[in-house]
Structure 1
Amino acid sequence: MIYTITLNPAIDRLLFLEKTLVKEKNNRLSKVEYDLGGKGHHGSFAMSTLGVENQALGFCGTTNKSKLEKILKEKELNYDLVEVYGKPTRESYVILEANVSGSILITEKGFRVSSYDIELLTEKIEEKIQEKDIVLIAGSMPPGFELRDLEELLHVLKKKNCFIACDLSGTALTKAVEVGVNFIKPNAFEIQEIVSAENPLLENLKELSKKIDYVVVSQGSEGSICSHDGEFYQITVPKVVAVNDTGAGDCFVGAFLANLSLGKPLTETLAFASGCAASKVQYTNSTTFSVKEAKLLQKKVRVEKLQMD
């Protein structure tokens, strides 16, 4: 079973502009749509789309719970969330300009969680997670959820002897490396922060791979680099026209863990996950991708083993 944990959930509000964004001008909207927000939720959607059983855990606010649940049900996600009473789930604003590639993302901080809320989530996790399960912790930490709380959560999962994947950033990512999780997806700058600002990327990756089973270094449209079991791979992705890149990395992580759970070879898993992410950026919302399209794009992905000294 795969579980995703979204500590700081969101509802994505997609703002479609009639033209390009201009300061000091009334920028008119052509339409507004809502989609699922939160990196863990995006990962769950990717897994569900691929037919891999999973459940979304984490927090949700009660004052706009019906809005979030409506989206979760529309996306056909299996979820079991801890309700934080009297608080609204935050919104993320995704601005899409007419005839402009990519998107602008603006996020709220999110509601504050209490020690009681954290205790309820921990109890739920301890009750559900079994050995050999896969657990993905993804996204930012909400106000009130401190670094020590993340460390305690990671130690709870370590005791379960499950596979721990973390798509985190900043001090949370550093803590995940310190504890010793199984999967991380940093970018090149984050690897410098964790290991050394003086070393070249591959040297830092080699050092990091001694502690983390799977490290995927995101390089955006240039693809990624992966390390596992003493081997290193350069992944080159096909060029596509990006409409909305929000959620592309989450789609990659969801597809990667889904294929990993099915026992697929690593090179195939990397190529397919990259194909899913390349498909995702071509859609206007934060989650949609085409499995059929991803399989076609997978054939254009190059996964090459790197020779390391």
Structure 2
Amino acid sequence: MIYTITLNPAIDRLIYLNEALTKRKNNRADRVAYDIGGKGTHGSYAMTQLGVANLALGFAGEDNADKFQQILENKGIPHHFLYVSGSSTRESLVLIDPNNQGSTMVTEPSLAVAAKDKRRLIEYLRQHLTKEDMVLVAGSQPQNFELSDLKELLVTIKQAGSFLACDLSEEALSLAVSVGVDFIKPNEFEIAALSNGIDSIEQTLQELAKGITCIVASRGEKGCTCYYGGDIYNVTAPKVAEVNDTGAGDCFVGAFLATFYQTQAIIPSLKMASACAANKVQYEDSSYFVATEAKELLSQVKITQSTSTIC
């Protein structure tokens, strides 16, 4: 089983504007839709679309649980969120320009979790995780969930022997590296923050690869570079007409882990992830893609392989 953990999910309210957003004006909407927000839930959606069994975990607010669960069910995401009493899952207002000139997002503050809520999650993982499982921990942390809590979470997963993937940022990413997780997907800014005085990105990645099984470094439209098993894989993404790139990275991670879980093969996993992300950017939704269309892009994903100089 693959488990995804979204500690701080959101309900995205997508408002499609008739015209470009203008200050001091009544900006009218053409339509309104709802989507799930949160890196882990997006990963679960990708896994589900590829037919790989998974379960989305995390915290959510009890006060708007019905709306949250309905969106998860509409997206076909299997879930077992722990609901926090007296709180609501945060909502994000996304104003979408009709001419694909970008969107404007306003996000509410996160819910606050108590010690008993944190303990419920840890106990659930201790009861269910095995060494055959894979776990993705992704996204930001809710209020009152400290780095020490995140460390306990990551250590608990490692102690179960599960493959641990993290899509985190800033201090949380540094913590994941120090714990020695199995997978990270940093961008160039995050790599620089992890450099510890090393001048080049390549040297930083090679140093990180000594303690992390698989690293996928984002290169935006150019694709990505993966360090795995002592080799380097440069991945060139398919060329597509982009509509909305929000969530493309989450789609990549979900598709990669789903394929790697099934095959334990790095090249098919990179190809599927790149193809799914390329298909996702052709749609307005922040998570939606079509698996059959993505598979048609597989032949357009180009990968070159070389040997790393890790000592």
TM-score for the superposition, normalised by structure 1 = 0.96
- Which residue of structure 2 aligns with residue 286 of structure 1? 286
The reply to whether residue 223 of structure 1 matches residue 223 of structure 2 is yes
Letter in 1 for 2:170: G
Q: CA deviation at 1:183?
A: 0.3
Distance in 2 (alpha carbons) for counterparts of 1:245 and 1:109: 24
Measured against aligned partners, the alpha-carbon deviations of 1:146-165 in whole angstroms (never above 9, x if no partner) come to 00000011111111011000
Q: What does residue range 296-307 of structure 1 map to in structure 2 within 5 Å?
A: 296-306=296-306
1:2 is aligned to 2:41: no
Find the aligned partners of 1:27 and 1:98 in 2 and give their Cα distance: 12
Secondary structure of 1:299's partner? helix
CA distance, structure 2, for counterparts of residue 218 and residue 296 of structure 1: 22
For residue 8 of structure 1, what is the amino acid of its counterpart? N
Match of 2:157 in 1: 157
Q: Does 1:235 align with 2:243?
A: no
| Amino acid in the other structure paired with 1:88 | S
What is the match of residue 33 of structure 1?
33
Q: Which residue is equivalent to 1:246?
A: 246
Kindly indicate whether the alpha-carbon contact (under 8 Å) linking 1:226 and 1:234 is maintained by their aligned counterparts in 2.
yes
Residue correspondence of structure 1 range 61-210 to structure 2 within 5 A: 61-196=61-196, 198-210=198-210
Checking the alignment, whether the CA contact within 8 Å between 2:113 and 2:145 is kept in structure 1 is: yes
* Deviation at residue 265 of structure 1 after TM alignment: 2.3
Q: Where in structure 2 are there 5+ consecutive unaligned residues?
A: none
Identify the residue that residue 270 of structure 2 maps to in structure 1: 270
Q: Secondary structure at the match of 2:263?
A: coil
Task: Tell me the number of residue pairs that the alignment of Structure 1 and Structure 2 aligns.
Answer: 309
More deviation, 280-289/57-66: 280-289
- Cα separation, partners in 2 of 1:263 and 1:125, compared to 1, 3 Å: same
Question: Are the structure 2 counterparts of residues 11 and 186 from structure 1 closer, same or farther at C-alpha, using a change threshold of 3 Å?
Answer: same
Contact 2:42 2:250 in 1 (8 A): yes
Letter in 1 for 2:128: K
Number of the residue aligned with 1:23 = 23
Shift of 1:308: 4.6
Contact 2:40 2:138 in 1 (8 A): yes
Q: Secondary structure at the match of 2:300?
A: coil
Identity of aligned residues (%): 48
Unpaired stretches in structure 1, ≥5 consecutive residues: none
3-state SS of paired residue (2:304): strand
Preserved contact between residue 246 and residue 286 of structure 2 (Cα < 8 Å): yes
Q: Relative to structure 1, is the Cα distance of residues 269 and 302 closer, same or farther in structure 2, using a 3 angstrom cutoff?
A: same
Q: CA deviation at 1:44?
A: 0.6
Bigger mean CA offset, 46-55 vs 234-243: 234-243
Contact 1:102 1:245 in 2 (8 A): no
- Kindly indicate whether the alpha-carbon contact (under 8 Å) linking 2:198 and 2:204 is maintained by their aligned counterparts in 1: no
| Residue 51 (structure 1) aligns with | 51
Moved more, 202-211 or 16-25: 16-25
* Residue type of the alignment partner of 2:124: K
Deviations 1:13-57 (A, max 9, x none): 112111222334333221111011111111111101111001111
64 and 239 in structure 1: CA distance in 2 versus 1, 3 angstrom threshold:
same
Stretch deviating more after TM superposition (71-80 or 251-260): 71-80
CA contact (8 A) 1:96 1:244 kept: no
